[in-house]
Amino acid sequence: MARPSEFDRHEAVEIVMNEIWQNGYEASSVKSLSEKLGITRSSFYNAFGSRQNLLKEVLKLYFNQSPDIALTNAVPGVSIRQLFTSTFKAACKARGMDQQGRGCLAINCVAELCNVDDELGPVMEHAILSSLKRMETLLNWGVAQKELPPQIDIPGTALALQNLLMGLNIMCKVVRSERDLWKTAQITLKALNLYKE
């Protein structure tokens, strides 16, 4: 069966995103993904090149709708405390609403692929390190805007924030209450002096 002319690439990537999110990358074979999309394996390879390339496309889609996209889209002048508070609150809400307890697709892929897959492991490592670098940038803005104290340990605080985000995205697989997840985030943000009502 040839690839149908009405093949909608965006819809296909979204379907694959949800399959990998639910079942993991390794469990999502070319055969199973092709069947889910209603195309042949040759059509799959014609459309996406490889399963690895498709995961990279899936991650772009996922990152653009992830609760922490606000950190990427922020511009200088924004209240850094408010930004972190609202972003973590949104993350807790999103994870609490997911009754399947899938966690974060990106963090799931980090756990599955880093130090295992020679092509995709570095992609996931880069994603996390880029997020960490972005948090450092935001904290530097906070210092420059005199919202945060100049003596703040920016690398250490960024690591703590990244650790909190990653931890919430794993914890939500067993703690599915938005209230409980948010309580965890609040305590950490307050301890880091990054909480704002």
What tens digit of pLDDT does each residue of 79-99 get? Answer: 999 999 999 999 999 999 998
Predicted local confidence at residue 197, as pLDDT? 87
Predicted local confidence at residue 195, as pLDDT? 96
- If asked whether residues 187 and 133 sit together in one domain, one would say yes
CATH of the domain at 143: 1.10.357.10
Q: Distance (Å, rounded) from C-alpha 156 to C-alpha 161?
A: 9
- If asked whether residues 96 and 166 sit together in one domain, one would say yes
- If asked whether residues 92 and 169 sit together in one domain, one would say yes
3-state class (DSSP) for residue 73: helix
- If asked whether residues 77 and 159 sit together in one domain, one would say yes
Average model confidence (pLDDT) across the chain: 94
Q: Distance (Å, rounded) from C-alpha 68 to C-alpha 90?
A: 8
Residue 42 has pLDDT above 90, yes or no: yes
Write the CB contacts of 96 (distance below 8 Å, at least 6 apart in sequence): 172, 176, 177, 178, 179, 181, 182
User: Are the C-beta atoms of 43 and 1 separated by less than 8 Å?
Assistant: yes
- If asked whether residues 75 and 35 sit together in one domain, one would say no
Residue 4 has pLDDT above 90, yes or no: no
Mean pLDDT, range 5-26, rounded to an integer: 90
Of 107, 91, 102, the closest CA to residue 181 belongs to 91
Predicted local confidence at residue 190, as pLDDT? 97
Last residue of a domain, one of 27, 46, 61: 61
- If asked whether residues 45 and 82 sit together in one domain, one would say no
CATH of the domain at 25: 1.10.10.60
Residue 129 lies in a domain: yes
Q: Distance (Å, rounded) from C-alpha 106 to C-alpha 101?
A: 14
Q: Distance (Å, rounded) from C-alpha 176 to C-alpha 30?
A: 31
Q: Distance (Å, rounded) from C-alpha 178 to C-alpha 185?
A: 10
39 lies in which domain range? 9-61
Tell me the pLDDT band of 1, cut-offs 50, 70 and 90.
very low
Residue 18 lies in a domain: yes
Mean pLDDT, range 45-49, rounded to an integer: 94
Tell me the pLDDT band of 6, cut-offs 50, 70 and 90.
low
Number of domain units in the chain: 2
Predicted local confidence at residue 177, as pLDDT? 95
CA distances from 22 to 82, 83, 147 (A): 32, 29, 40
- If asked whether residues 103 and 19 sit together in one domain, one would say no
Of 88, 103, 90, 98, the closest CA to residue 186 belongs to 88
pTM for the complete prediction?
Answer: 0.91
- If asked whether residues 152 and 182 sit together in one domain, one would say yes
